[in-house]
Amino acid sequence: VQLQASGGGLAQPGDSLRLSCAAPGLPAFRFDDYTIGWFRQAPGQKRETVSCISQTDGSLYYQDSVKGRFTISRDDAKNTLYLQMDDLKPGDTAVYYCATGAFCSDYFASSVHSRGQGTLVTVSS
């Protein structure tokens, strides 16, 4: 399954961006059938979980560094996943990927099943 992330760009510290994730050309793919979320990878760094939604019970997970600033949501009617990112910081600079995974926890990034090309977020003044 190829997931398509979009919405990245250049932002200044304190700005907001909203990332979107879709599965174009896959009408049978339903986001609510999977544990799904976002991970990111900065240059030279290992991938890290940002946020995810559990398929089992709909519970949400956020990495500590984004709690209170990022909000994950899913629009089942549009079959789209979002990541609202507020109060962006330079440390948020990374390529962001949406993905399905086995676990909605800090292990999400290491349990990825499917993902697509990410979208680059650069936070700089």
Nearest to 11 by CA among 91, 65, 71: 91
Nearest to 22 by CA among 34, 49, 43, 4: 4
Residues pairing with 60 in the sheet: 53
**pLDDT for 53-68, tens place per residue?**
999 999 999 999 999 9
**pLDDT for 75-90, tens place per residue?**
988 889 999 999 999 9
Mean model confidence pLDDT for the chain: 94
Residue 46 has pLDDT above 80, yes or no: yes
